[in-house]
Chains A and B, each alone.
Chain A
Amino acid sequence: MNTISLNIFTNATESAPNTAVISRTLESIMIMFGPDIYDRLTFYLDPHPGIDKARDYYENIKKHYPLPEIKYCQSLSDGYLKSIRDARTDYIFQCEHDWEFLPTIKHSLDDILYVMKTRGLYHFRFNKRENKVAGWDTKLEERLSFANDNDANILPMKIFFSYCLTPNVSNNPHIIDVKKYRDEIAQHIIVRPGSLGIEREINAAGKYQSAIYGPLGYPATVRHLDGRGKK
């Protein structure tokens, strides 16, 4: 059984101390993947740039979600590295505070982890747009996964779900293989301010791929709520 925990990365934006955006993110995750993930949730809170509002934001998060631990960090990359070091599960679900998960996701976390494990995928992402060549997704290759992927002797092969490989290891909501990151990929991450230091640096290594949920042309599976300024 593969294990996974959820990390929500947040910071004190213009909308702090209002927690509406982070609540919407968390609720959509629990609706899509089940409420059990709440038991394996950690918040990573960067008090910048709104330091004067950070304490009220912290207290509001604590009031709405009293059980999960809230860990302090200096930036997204700092919290991201800390989350890899602190992980106690095989995989970690890395999500910034302002995303909504859409009902175009038709598989459970167990299904996705099964495919990640059998296919050796170390970064699995939910796409904010249709699966097509655009932005940093400069190349997409569709792959099929099978329910009996780990035993080729079982026939017929039953199609599980499709995914696309891309050279873009983006910060958008994603699941990572903790061991692969601890052993190798984390060394490319640089502690930088704000949300810098992760995706651009890993992509610059030029040797990593991400998998995106769904076949070519599949519609978006997440929507960006943009937590920077909306009240």
Chain B
Amino acid sequence: MNMDIHSACLYLKSIANMNRIAGLTDPAIIALTTAMETVCDYVAKSEIEKRDGVIYHPSTAGGEQ
């Protein structure tokens, strides 16, 4: 499978949504689904925090070079 990070996140999100529609009861599936959503949200956050090709890191807040 060949896809960019955005497409991969959409794919993971769609699977996570299908899990939720199916009605989650298994703790392992709940944890996996939540993890998938968290990772995808983190990717979106990272994309927003990217500037000039550099990933913005919280530790550089206020002193970004």
Contact = CB atoms under 8 A, between A and B. Distances in A.
A78 B6 CA distance: 12
A191 interface: yes
A46 B44 CA distance: 7
A191 B45 contact: no
A47 B21 contact: no
A78 B48 contact: no
Contacts, number: 55
Interface residues of B, number: 20
B6 A48 contact: yes
A190 interface: yes
Nearest to A193: B10
Contacts of A74: 6, 9-10, 13, 40, 43-44
- SS class, residues of chain B in contact with chain A: helix
Interface stretch (A33-41, A50-58, A214-222): A50-58
B14 A191 contact: yes
Interface residues of A, number: 24
A45 interface: yes
Contact of A55 (B41, B43, B56): B56
A48 B47 CA distance: 9
A186 interface: yes
A190 B14 CA distance: 6
A139 interface: no
Interface of A: 45-48, 51-52, 54-55, 58, 71-75, 78, 81, 85, 186-187, 189-193
19 contacts: A47-B44, A47-B47, A48-B6, A51-B50, A52-B51, A54-B48, A71-B41, A72-B48, A73-B44, A74-B6, A74-B10, A74-B40, A81-B17, A190-B14, A190-B17, A191-B13, A192-B10, A193-B6, A193-B10
